[in-house]
């Protein structure tokens, strides 16, 4: 088990999945932190409670520009992605690296998440700062079904 310390929390990276390397909590409010952790862990009940409280914005960002939608998509939490989109999350939101929720869904092969994001007008050809796109990363990881989905859109 690998742990990363933050000023507010300790994040267990093993449980968070391979797509979350580091989640900096330095400048976020406690509610932002809770929403990010709920998104990583797929805790739909907590996501709903926090968003319904009005104390946190659906697109709150961490130091790297990561939103709850990006975290849920990167970890394959379809119901959480659906809820965040219904609550107004921006499917085109980009991290500082330029990566999007669709980029991470394509990388991990989460077809259902990718289809949902695309149905909410997530851009399929947005490049990251190094030029990678969801299509490129799907090809790189050999996910033929994902490649076909992205090419169709």
**Other Cβ atoms within 10 Å of 79 Cβ, number:** 12
152 Cα distance to chain centroid: 22
Nearest Cα to Cα of residue 103 among 60, 62, 65, 138: 138
Query: Is a pLDDT exceeding 50 seen at residue 35?
Result: yes
State pLDDT tens for residues 99-140: 999 999 999 999 999 999 999 999 999 999 999 999 999 999
Query: Is a pLDDT exceeding 90 seen at residue 54?
Result: yes
What pTM was estimated for this model as a whole? 0.82
**Other Cβ atoms within 10 Å of 63 Cβ, number:** 14
Domains defined for the chain, CATH in brackets: 3-152 (1.25.40.20)
Cα–Cα distances in Å, from 136 out to 10, 18, 90, 117, 123?
33, 19, 22, 17, 14
pLDDT of residue 149: 97
Tell me if 66 sits within 8 A of 89, measured CB to CB.
Answer: no
55 Cα distance to chain centroid: 20
């Amino acid at each position: 088990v690998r742990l990363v310390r933050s000023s507010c929390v300790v994040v267990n990276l093993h449980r968070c999945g391979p797509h979350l390397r580091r989640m900096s909590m330095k400048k976020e409010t406690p509610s932002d932190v809770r929403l990010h952790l709920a998104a990583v862990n797929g805790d739909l009940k907590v996501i709903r409670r926090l968003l319904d409280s009005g104390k946190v914005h659906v697109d709150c960002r961490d130091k790297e520009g990561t939103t709850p939608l990006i975290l849920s998509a990167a970890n394959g939490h379809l119901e959480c992605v659906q809820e965040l989109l219904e609550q107004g999350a921006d499917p085109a939101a980009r991290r500082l690296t330029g990566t999007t929720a669709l980029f991470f869904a394509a990388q991990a092969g989460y077809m259902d998440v990718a289809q949902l994001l695309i149905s909410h007008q997530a851009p399929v050809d947005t490049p990251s700062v190094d030029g990678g796109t969801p299509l490129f990363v799907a090809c790189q990881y050999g996910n033929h079904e994902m490649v076909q989905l992205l090419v169709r859109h």
